[in-house]
Structures are given as C-alpha cells and as structure tokens.
Amino acid sequence: MSEQNQVQYTEDSIRSLDWKEHIRLRPGMYIGKLGDGSAMDDGIYVLVKEIVDNSIDEHVMGNGKLIEIKISEHKVTVRDYGRGIPLGKVIDCVSKINTGGKYDSKAFQKSVGLNGVGTKAVNALSTHFKVQSFRDGKTKCAEFEKGVLVQDHPEADTTEKNGTMITFSPDNSIFKNYHYIPEYLENQIWNYVYLNAGLTIQFNDQKYFSKNGLLDLLTHKSNEETIRYPIIHLKGEDIELAMTHDNQYGEEYYSFVNGQNTTQGGTHLAAFKEALVKTVREFYKKDYEASDIRASVVAAISVRVQEPVFESQTKTKLGSQHVSEGGQSMRNFVGDFLKKALDDFLHKNSDIADALQKRIMQSERERKDMAGIKKLANERAKKASVHNKKLRDCRVHLSDEKHDKRKDTTLFITEGDSASGSITKSRDVETQAVFSLRGKPLNCFGLTKKVVYENEEFNLLQHALNIEDGLDDLRYNRIVIATDADVDGMHIRLLLLTFFLQFFPDLVKYGHLFILDTPLFRVRNKQKTIYCYSEEEKQAAIKELGNKPEITRFKGLGEISPEEFGLFIGEEMRLDPVILSKETSIQKLLTYFMGKNTMERQAFIIDNLRVEKDEAKEEVA
C-alpha cells in the first residue's frame, strides 16, 4: 500500500462525543432496535417504557397511585403523582449521564433502572422533550430539542399536585415512518398494573387496574375453557407466581423483574423451570421427564431484587445470579419458595394435584407416540436439504460472529416461482431469507401435531425456523407471510396462520409473525412514480400527477419486478403484525375462519380484501 493511501492515525483521529451525540450515533446500544413500531420491541415502545418506569418506581416506593399516559400519533405525555424531581435537579436528571436518585439505594431499593441513562436516551432521541416537576407548591420546567436545552423556565408557583410530567416526540429521522400500535401499548400498560396491584393507569382516557396481580394476568392470558385446573397463585416476599396447564402446544411464560417484562427470560425464569420440575417429581415421587412436566404450561413469575443486572440496556433478560449483594442465589431463592409454597398448595388441593398429574401423564403418552414419527420426519428433512431446496437462507446464519445481527433477520414465506424469485433477487442477502411454498398448504385445523411431521411442507418449514422444541433457538426474528392480495392469496395466508396458531402460538404471542403489505397500484408519469396501497391512495396519486398518468394494477407479487420489490422490503417495508388481543380465544378464532361456517367466512374474506369487491366476487365464483 502506498503511503498516500494509508489512513493516518494521529491525535486528530481521536474524538470524544458528548452524551447526546453518542446516543444519537449509536441508539441501538441504549434502546435496542429502531423499527417503525410494527414490532412490539421496537425502540419507540422502549422510549415510553423508560419514562413510565420512573413513575412506576415512585409508586413502588409508596408515592402516587395514579399515572396518566396520553399518546397520539407522534406525541407522548406521562404524568405521575409521586414526589416530583427535586426542582434544582430537573435539568440534570434528564440531560446528565449517571445522574439520578436511583444511586441512593435507600430511596429506590428495588427499582428497574439504576444507571441514569433511560430518560437521557429519550431526551436525545426526541425532536422535542419537555420535563416539568411539581413539588410543594412550586414548579420547574425545561425544554429540549434532540438533547439540547432550548428553554430553561424559571421556577414558579403552582397549585398542581406533586409529581412529574414528561412530554416527548420521537425523532422521525431516527424512527422512520413510525407509528404506535395501540395493542402493543395496552399490553405494556396491562403488565404494569398486573405487577403493581392497586395502581391505576389512565391511558388515553381509559383506566387500567388490577386487584389480584399475576392471577389477573394469567386469567386474561389463558383460556378458561381449556385450562386443565384452576390457576395456582402463590405469593411470598419479593416473589409472586401464577401457573396452570392448558391444551396448547409448547410452554408459555411471562417473567418480570422489578416490574420489568423480561421477554427473554433470564436467571429467574431458568430457576423457576428447574424448581417446577424438581418440586413436581418430589411431590408425586415419580421421575417424570422435564419436558412432560412443562408441556403446555402457562405461567407468570415476578421477582424483586436489589440492583438487578440485565444483559442489555433494554432489560429484556436478567443476568443476576443473586437476589442481593452477598445474599441468596437466584436459583435457591426461587427453588426454596416453590418447594414449600407449591408443595403446600398441592397437598391442600388434591383435586388440582390430580388434574396436574393427569396432564403430565397425557404429555408423556403423546411424547412416546410421537417419538418414531419425529425421527422419520427429521431424517426426511435432512434428505430434502431444507437449506438448499426450499430455503434461500441469509448470511447471518453462516457465521457465529454475526450473532448480534440475528435480531434483524427476516424470513419471507411465499408461494409460486415468480413471487419467490422476485423476493430472492431483491432481498438483503445478509439478513433476509426466503422459504418457497409449493401450492396451497394443508388445512391443519382440528388435526394433531403429528401432521407437522407427516406433511413434508410443514416439516420443512418447521425445520427452517428451528421451532420444534420452542422459540429459544428461533432462527428468524420476523416471519413474514408474503402472498398475493387476492382470494387465493388470502386463503394461503389463512392456512399458514392456522398452522402457526394451532401448533406454534408463541410465534404470534411474542410478536414474531407479520403480513407483508405490498402496493396494489403503480401510478406514474415521466417525472414521478407513486406506489399505492389502496384505492384511496390511487385516486390521490392520480390527482397529484394529473394528465392521465399510466396506472398499473399488480395482480400478484410475481408481477412486481425484482428492482421494484427491493423498494418494498427494504427500509420502507410495510408490515402488518399479527396480534392476538387478550380477549382472543385461539380455538374460537380458528373455528370461525377454518371450520364449517363456509358462507360466513367467505363473506368476511370478500369484505376485507384490499381489492375491488366485484373482482373478488368473480374470483370466488
């Protein structure tokens, strides 16, 4: 290499960033992935959580029983009725890293955040951020733009009750085309009230309240028609547990630390799983397989610990090995509680103990019945070379060094050579993969999981996703159903949804399943091209371009060229998340869409297609 081409490494190469510059340059370090709001763990929801967490910590310390949250399309306001930030420190608490009241363990014994970063990250990543404290008849207010102080209001008298109010607008140059999905926000808020019985949260004029904590959570999350026994609800000092068994496939857990929803689990959840198996074995004096004990379990666990250690700033996985510094290990803390509390409960409730044992024995029979079928299916999957024939994989999975990028991975499930060809040619080969269906998949409604192994298409899809034994090793963070916007496409979509909801419902419950939204029309003239996702958008585009522009109706994904497809699966990709509300019964949902009410279902499909109604009716006929 010639000297002039060498990069000079001198004192001038060393640069120091201030706190807001660093947060804006590396936002993922502070709030995880960015996203547009279509995924429940996108950064705009983390911003809300960081502010609400502070208000929750105030409540936990006995200050304030009401939190008001107002969220419009691009503006968030959170008002609590705690003590209020000390007026002289209002600016420092939202703009100086490592500044906050949580370093004083006496003030915040078991709070969610201890590092003084969360609120500052929200400030730096917002186009407008306003903080106002009300304290003992006085108020102090300050306003910021992208972390820069723009207005320092003087202290003033007030008649407002003590507390803190923060208003912010996420920066749309960082969170591109973002939008808040109400169901995701409501899920966050429900979790807050479940974990803080007695707290009221008013969200956009609707009140949320829980009297019975995790018992209420599991009551809403499980199906009372299919659970095998009444929910077991146990409480101890700094630990709460609710559990039952259902008829669903897989295991379903909701875990929390200091009020934080640890969606990736951690040491406390691992301790619970281990303790559950050990306690059950000892109670029944039988060496049941761990998988049979935990099969179809639905459980929620919440612990409170001092100075929790999380594996990332977004606090989705607990790393703490101990409950407190120099204290009991997490494993023993959870294990000792369950050994006594669950054992006592089962001794006092023999009918529930009998029902639990029957469910375990049923799982044991099912596992033994499936053993031979699973072995043959796995051998067939290997012979089919799933990663070559059906699956065009992404490069992230070819190197363990890129593990940090797996949260950005996407698998498109599509049908037909032309559609899969277009996506394959236009995708980002680093993080996007394509799985090609051969015709319409089987309607598996009402069938047992045996069909997953006996049907080649389902077997290969299961192996491509690596979800046979749960979501721990899921190969793609987003599974995107990409089908045509016509009757056949809707049918394929419903068949795939049936497959996932019936056999792998956790994919939906944990926000991994999406529908790809692609344009129905292209409207263009010589100067400009506009892609339209609805008839209304098409009419607006025609009006904008004028002079009789060229209009193309995309009948199927295969008609969109690879060059154009790249526009729709890149940064501007539109995804519709598949969301189950807390009132949704999967069994009732599948019965409605995939059962025998053919005419009613057909009418629903026609009414909800994003195509002209007359055209849909002709296709059905």
Q: Do domains 20-209 and 384-518+554-579 have the same CATH topology?
A: no
Q: What is the dihedral of CA 501, 507, 510, 515, to 10 degrees?
A: -80
More confident site: 419 or 573: 573
- Please report, for residues 30, 95, 129, 300, the alpha-carbon distance to residue 19 in angstroms, rounded to integers and kept in the order given: 12, 8, 16, 37
- Within 10 angstroms of residue 514's Cβ, the number of other Cβ atoms is 21
Residue among 103, 129, 141, 99 at smallest CA distance from 117: 99
Fold (topology level) of 384-518+554-579 = Rossmann fold (3.40.50)
At residue 417, the pLDDT reads 76
The structural domains of the chain, with segments of one domain joined by +, span 20-209, 214-362, 384-518+554-579
Dihedral (CA of 194, 200, 206, 212) sign: positive
At residue 202, the pLDDT reads 97
More confident site: 197 or 609: 197
Reply yes or no on whether the pLDDT at 582 is more than 70.
Answer: no
Class of domain 20-209: alpha beta
Residue among 26, 126, 109 at smallest CA distance from 61: 109
Alpha helices in 384-477 (DSSP H): 417-426, 450-454, 456-465
Residues of 480-490 as b/e, b for ≥16 C-beta within 10 angstroms? Answer: bbbbbbbbebb
For strands 200-203 and 206-209, give the pairing. antiparallel
Phi and psi angles of residue 343, each rounded to the nearest 5 degrees, phi first: -60, -45
CA distance 45 to 478: 17
Please report how many Cα atoms fall inside a 13 Å half-sphere around the Cα of residue 310, on the Cβ side.
Answer: 21
How do residues 490-504 score in pLDDT, each as one tens digit? 889 989 999 999 899
Reply yes or no on whether the pLDDT at 620 is more than 70.
Answer: no
Token representation of residue 96: 């100086």
At residue 598, the pLDDT reads 62
Using 50, 70 and 90 to split pLDDT, how confident is the model at 613? Answer: very low
Contacts of 388 by beta carbon, 8 Å cutoff, 6+ apart? none
**Interval 368-394 mean pLDDT:** 72
Alpha helices in 349-416 (DSSP H): 350-383
Point out the least confidently predicted range of 302-311, 425-434, 554-563, 580-589. 580-589
Fold (topology level) of 214-362 = Ribosomal Protein S5; domain 2 (3.30.230)
